[in-house]
């Protein structure tokens, strides 16, 4: 799935495709504003990618301290709240290329 197809799904579909990975589903929900659903999924992804997504979610939430903890676990540099969209796109690009 391309990034544009993923964005189209987020805009028009009522739920993410079952064929998506948990990482993609978490990002799908995050972009739709379903923070709790995204967070529930991310908590069960015990990889550096899961930590990166988890960091993004806490950045979206506004809990920068918690986000920084998860960025450290993901071995990624911390981001600012102004970087949320670019960060989402960077993560989505990695998730969709796998």
Backbone angles phi, psi at 36, to 5 degrees: -60, -45
* CA-to-CA separations, 55 to 14, 17, 30, in angstroms, rounded: 25, 23, 12
- Per-residue pLDDT tens digits for 38-67: 999 999 999 999 999 999 999 999 999 999
- State the pLDDT confidence band at 86, using cuts at 50, 70 and 90: very high
Q: Average of pLDDT values for 12-28?
A: 97
For position 87, what pLDDT does the model report? 97
């Amino acid at each position: 799935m391309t990034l544009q197809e993923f964005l189209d799904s987020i805009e028009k579909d009522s739920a993410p495709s079952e064929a998506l990975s948990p990482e993609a589903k978490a990002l799908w929900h995050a972009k739709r504003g379903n923070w709790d659903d995204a967070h529930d999924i991310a908590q069960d992804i015990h990889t550096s990618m899961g930590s990166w997504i988890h960091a993004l979610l806490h950045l979206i939430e506004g809990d920068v301290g918690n986000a920084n903890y998860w960025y450290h676990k993901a071995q990624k540099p911390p981001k600012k709240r102004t970087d949320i969209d670019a960060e989402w796109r960077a993560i989505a690009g990695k998730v969709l290329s796998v």
